[in-house]
Amino acid sequence: DAGVTQSPTHLIKTRGQQVTLRCSPKSGHDTVSWYQQALGQGPQFIFQYYEEEERQRGNFPDRFSGHQFPNYSSELNVNALLLGDSALYLCASSWGVGSYEQYFGPGTRLTVT
């Protein structure tokens, strides 16, 4: 049973550029949530996708956008990258929304120079 997968593993970008991160949920899961984790901090909720729609959103600017595909996989897009966007981006999948256990992927380490 494949778990949550994310690509790429690492990414280095320059300020002002755009980046797309990808996530494939665990088999049987239909909900994908994205988190940003700065070094030494807990994951910060970016947004959640369910039935191909953004269901809820955390306190992140519109530069952060996403998409969910019919096969439940998801993308996170960040435009006009800032140095402060450097972090580990985690994708988590679950079955349905609400109080269900989330399975996290290994993350994508984004470095903005």
Partner 1 sequence: QQPVQSPQAVILREGEDAVINCSSSKALYSVHWYRQKHGEAPVFLMILLKGGEQKGHEKISASFNEKKQQSSLYLTASQLSYSGTYFCGTEIRVFGNEKLTFGTGTRLTIIP
Where do contacts with partner 1 occur on this chain (CB under 8 A)?
Answer: 4, 33, 35, 40-45, 48, 55-56, 58, 90, 97-107
Nearer to partner 1 by C-beta: 84 or 98?
98
Nearer to partner 1 by C-beta: 25 or 107?
107
Strand 19-24 relative to strand 74-78, pairing: antiparallel
Distances (CA, A) of 77 to 13, 21, 28, 62: 13, 6, 24, 10
Q: What minimum distance in Å lies between the beta carbon of 46 and partner 1?
A: 9
SS3 46: strand
Q: What angle do CA 31, 32, 34 make, to 5 degrees?
A: 155
Nearer to partner 1 by C-beta: 60 or 75?
60
Q: What minimum distance in Å lies between the beta carbon of 81 and partner 1?
A: 23
Q: What minimum distance in Å lies between the beta carbon of 91 and partner 1?
A: 9
20: amino acid identity, one letter? T
